[in-house]
Amino acid sequence: MSTLTTTPALHQHRYPPLPVPRLPDVPDGVWHHGVANRSLAEWVARIVRLARPDDVVWLTGADDEWERLTTGMVESGALLRLDPALRPDSFLARSDPDDVARVEDRTFVCSRTAREAGPTNNWWDPREAHNELDRRFAESMRGRTMYVVPYSMGPVGGAISQLGVQVTDSAYAALSLTVMARVGDDALAEIGPDTPWVAGVHSVGFPLRKGDGTRREDVPWPSNPVKYIAHFPEERAIWSYGSGYGGNALLSKKCFALRIASVLGRDGGWLAEHMLVLRLTSPDGRITHVAAAFPSACGKTNLAMLQPTLPGWRVETIGDDIAWLRPGADGRLWAINPEAGFFGVAPGTNEASNPVAVDTIRKHTIFTNVALTDDGDVWWEGRTPEPPAHLTDWRGQDWTPGAGRPAAHPNARFTVPVQQCRTLADSWAEPDGVPIDAIVFGGRRATNVPLVTEARDWTHGVFVGATVSSETTAAQEGALGVLRRDPFGMLPFVGYDMGDHWQHWLDVGARLGEHAPRIFQVNWFRKGDDGSFLWPGFGENVRVLAWIADRVHGAADAEETGLGLRPVAGALDLDGLTLGDDTLAALFAVDPESWLDECARTDEFFGQLGESVPPELHEHLAALRSRLWHDHEGTAPHPSASRTTVGTAVTRAA
Ligand code: SAT
Ligand code: MN
């Protein structure tokens, strides 16, 4: 039996012949022997009739798929092969300069009613959306190959896992999907006649041939100035047009695993969240599983691959971006990473910030929009302290250190299989996931938010998650460094009404009861008066994780502040760190005045969200204001307070 190889004959043998009748007017090659689901077969045929690709290629997960796709893309000029000695089996893609990040203003939720999408999403009437998209997709794939990519999010066949199929005319998207999800015949075989699956229709909107026969040359990164990223939660479908980049094009990721899955989770009693998952082991072997939510490009990959500076502690990686969390039979909250790859931010990645990522991407990696060195390797800002004397920048132009512009795009990315990560936990592919002990919310905040606090209970934790703000990063289009509300790090990713999302969190917490994970808030990004970061971050963040683990296991003390619980003096292990008392005080300072401002903005934000904000969260806001007011004025609670205050505010250092 050891001589068996993956041949077409074997596949024919493994799967029954297509039980679905052929539809007329469909070119040869559309059918795949593995298809056992009529709606899937009909849908593929429908897209072929609409978009008119020249060829249809099903990705099977065969061993040579990567080789075939990358070779073809190097030949067509879509990829550049990096130096095989310096960066084996790795490639560089350069996007169109107008297609470099997610486009939130072109992202739509097409639920039946506007109420369901809520005020934080762009709602688009599903009938109007379908009309417009049908118009855009008509003949949009002429002259191109359409890839059909079946995939599983989560281990194939796992209880929390879900299935999807993306059709795309982008070889780059198809190739990236083979890294980011479990792609191929094994996933397809899971889609039985009645199995639910999520449909993803993707076109870059750059046909090579018009209906009248006129042709045009392909370009290395085809895209269209008109972009739509449209979600149809009721239909479990995603239609994406015009962009080839990241979350716009890899529909398994933000579109499915967050926006559509958040709706599936709302209806099915589970959570789809923008969270890394890690496994923390203490020197005495105690294990703590942490799920942590941060907005895009706030260092989730760095935290997930953290190399602890505290002796004896160990961090293992389970996921770096998305978690699906589900109450288990034992009453605890279990989590999987539904993805199979990392789509990480390259700039800033180096031996100090993330040595594990540096190793992970040594080979077999797709780089997008990084700079190219003269010897055929990659470079980005922060890769080395000194930039090389000459580079080819992300647009393919000559670059020297005095150029006055970055060599890599700030949202440049690496795409790499999780298996290449040396800190990957054995349990990362457990079909049932891992039991979560602590949930962490974070953002990028120069001011106000302390290094770490613990929520008093689940409801308070939901309030903390709901009120997260963060300074914007290069992962979304628009101005950088602007403070915006980003509840749960999910502002652009909840596929339904935000207030309903918070209510769903309260409901899940009520179901978990005493088994619910503890909830914490962290901020690595607080700055001093001179504008420099107060906390060293990266590997030193294990000190905060260690306190969190100790809290979970009842081994560390905390004291009240106006915002929640914080480490008592000495509880946070600062051994070996040169951190002055003033710095420590500044890291934990709670300034009542600026917090009262912050509360006023929260009030305004809740007001914008309207009726669906759970009353419990309004009550928590009132209680917080009351505590702050008391601290500020030293007087009786503010009249807006509707609850008794808890504890006293503390502004001195731990
Ligand atoms: O959505 S992407 O995958 O392009 C990146 C992010 O925003 O986290
Ligand atoms: Mn993300």
What pLDDT, on the 0 to 100 scale, is given for residue 35? 86
Which ligand 1 atom sits closest to the C-alpha of 253?
3
Residue with tokens 């409801």: 459
From the CA of 102, the nearest ligand is 1
Task: Give me 379's structure tokens.
Answer: 């470079």
255: annotated active-site residue: no
Angle (CA) 573-299-501 rounded to 5° is 100
Classified as helix, coil or strand, 378 is strand
Would you identify the CATH topology of the domain 272-339+427-647? Phosphoenolpyruvate Carboxykinase; domain 3 (3.90.228)
From the CA of 476, the nearest ligand is 1
DSSP state, 364?
A: S
Q: What is the pLDDT of residues 303-338, one digit of tens each?
A: 999 999 999 999 999 999 999 999 999 999 999 999
Q: Where are the beta strands (DSSP E) in 421-525?
A: 434-435, 438-442, 452-454, 469-471, 483-485, 518-522
Tell me the Ramachandran region of residue 447: left when phi exceeds 0, alpha when psi lies from -120 to 50, beta otherwise. beta
Distance CA 291, CA 435 (A): 10
- C-alpha 254 to ligand 1 mean position (Å): 7
- C-alpha 83 to ligand 1 mean position (Å): 27
Residue of 107, 176, 252, 254 best suited for mutating to test ligand 1, as the one with most atoms within 8 Å of CB:
254
Distance CA 45, CA 24 (A): 9
Classified as helix, coil or strand, 455 is coil
Instruction: State the virtual CA torsion across 248, 51, 24, 28 in degrees, nearest 10.
Output: -80
Classified as helix, coil or strand, 373 is strand
DSSP state, 489?
A: G
**Ligand 1: residue whose CA is nearest its atom 2:** 247
- C-alpha 475 to ligand 1 mean position (Å): 6
Q: What is the pLDDT of residues 500-555, one digit of tens each?
A: 999 999 999 999 999 999 999 999 999 999 999 999 999 999 999 999 999 999 99
Residue of 321, 484, 486 best suited for mutating to test ligand 1, as the one with most atoms within 8 Å of CB:
321
Which ligand 1 atom sits closest to the C-alpha of 250?
3
Q: What is the pLDDT of residues 255-311, one digit of tens each?
A: 999 999 999 999 999 999 999 999 999 999 999 999 999 999 899 999 999 999 999
CATH superfamily membership of 28-76+104-269: Phosphoenolpyruvate Carboxykinase, domain 1 (3.40.449.10)
Q: What is the DSSP string of 187-208?
A: HHHH--TT---EEEEEE-S--S
Tell how many helices (H) and how many strands (E) occur in the chain.
17, 32
Cβ-proximal residues to 280 (8 Å cutoff; 6+ apart), any chain: 287, 288, 289, 290, 313, 314, 315, 542, 545, 546, 549
Cβ-proximal residues to 265 (8 Å cutoff; 6+ apart), any chain: 271, 272, 324, 504
- C-alpha 30 to ligand 2 mean position (Å): 34
Which ligand 1 atom sits closest to the C-alpha of 297?
8
Task: Give me 225's structure tokens.
Answer: 């100035």
Q: What are phi and psi of 39, to 5 degrees?
A: -65, -35
Which residues form the pocket of ligand 1, taking CB atoms under 6 Å from any ligand atom? 102, 246-247, 253-254, 296, 343, 475
CA distances 493 to 49, 101, 204, 374, Å, are 31, 15, 22, 39
Give the mean pLDDT of 35-51: 90
Q: What is the pLDDT of residues 71-114, one digit of tens each?
A: 999 999 999 999 999 999 999 999 999 999 999 999 999 999 99
Q: Are strands 518-522 and 438-442 parallel, antiparallel or unpaired?
A: parallel
pLDDT-based confidence at residue 28 (cuts at 50, 70, 90): low
Please list the residues that pair with 319 across neighbouring strands.
277
Q: What is the pLDDT of residues 145-161, one digit of tens each?
A: 999 999 999 999 998 99
Distance CA 524, CA 533 (A): 8
What pLDDT, on the 0 to 100 scale, is given for residue 632? 82
Residue of 102, 104, 202 best suited for mutating to test ligand 1, as the one with most atoms within 8 Å of CB:
102
Residue with tokens 């990696």: 365
- pLDDT of 34 higher than 60: yes
**Ligand 1: residue whose CA is nearest its atom 6:** 296
pLDDT-based confidence at residue 646 (cuts at 50, 70, 90): very low
**Ligand 1: residue whose CA is nearest its atom 8:** 296
Cβ-proximal residues to 489 (8 Å cutoff; 6+ apart), any chain: 274, 275, 293, 294, 295, 296, 298, 441, 442, 443, 468, 470
**Ligand 1: residue whose CA is nearest its atom 1:** 247
Distance CA 191, CA 158 (A): 13
Nearest to 346 by CA among 321, 380, 315: 380
Residue with tokens 């009645």: 194
Which ligand 1 atom sits closest to the C-alpha of 476?
7
Annotated catalytic residue within 110, 298, 421, 599: 298
| Interhelix angle 615-633/592-609, nearest 10 degrees | 160
- C-alpha 321 to ligand 2 mean position (Å): 5
Distance CA 293, CA 605 (A): 20
- pLDDT of 635 higher than 70: no
Domain boundaries of the chain, sorted by first residue: 28-76+104-269, 272-339+427-647
Distance CA 417, CA 61 (A): 14
pLDDT-based confidence at residue 210 (cuts at 50, 70, 90): confident
- pLDDT of 634 higher than 80: no
Q: Which helix (H) or strand (E) holds 154?
A: none
**Ligand 1: residue whose CA is nearest its atom 3:** 247
Percent of residues, the chain, with pLDDT higher than 70: 92
Task: Give me 635's structure tokens.
Answer: 């007087």
Distance CA 445, CA 466 (A): 15
- pLDDT of 650 higher than 50: no
Largest CA distance in the chain: 82
From the CA of 259, the nearest ligand is 1
Give every strand in the sheet of 271-273, ordered side by side: 271-273, 323-327, 333-336, 434-435
Count Cβ neighbours within 10 Å for each residue of 283-315 and write b for 16 or more, e otherwise.
eeeebbbbbbbbbbbbbbbbbbbbbbbbeebbb
- C-alpha 24 to ligand 1 mean position (Å): 39
Classified as helix, coil or strand, 95 is coil
Task: Give me 611's structure tokens.
Answer: 């009726």
- C-alpha 50 to ligand 2 mean position (Å): 32
| Secondary structure of 236-302 in HEC code, one letter for each residue | CEEEEECCCCHHHHCCHHHHHHHHHHHHHHHHHCCEEECEEEEEEECCCCCEEEEEEECCCCCCHHH
Which ligand 1 atom sits closest to the C-alpha of 345?
5
Nearest to 624 by CA among 445, 455, 439: 455
Which ligand 1 atom sits closest to the C-alpha of 254?
1
Nearest to 230 by CA among 144, 343, 117: 117
What pLDDT, on the 0 to 100 scale, is given for residue 477? 86
- C-alpha 297 to ligand 1 mean position (Å): 8
From the CA of 473, the nearest ligand is 1
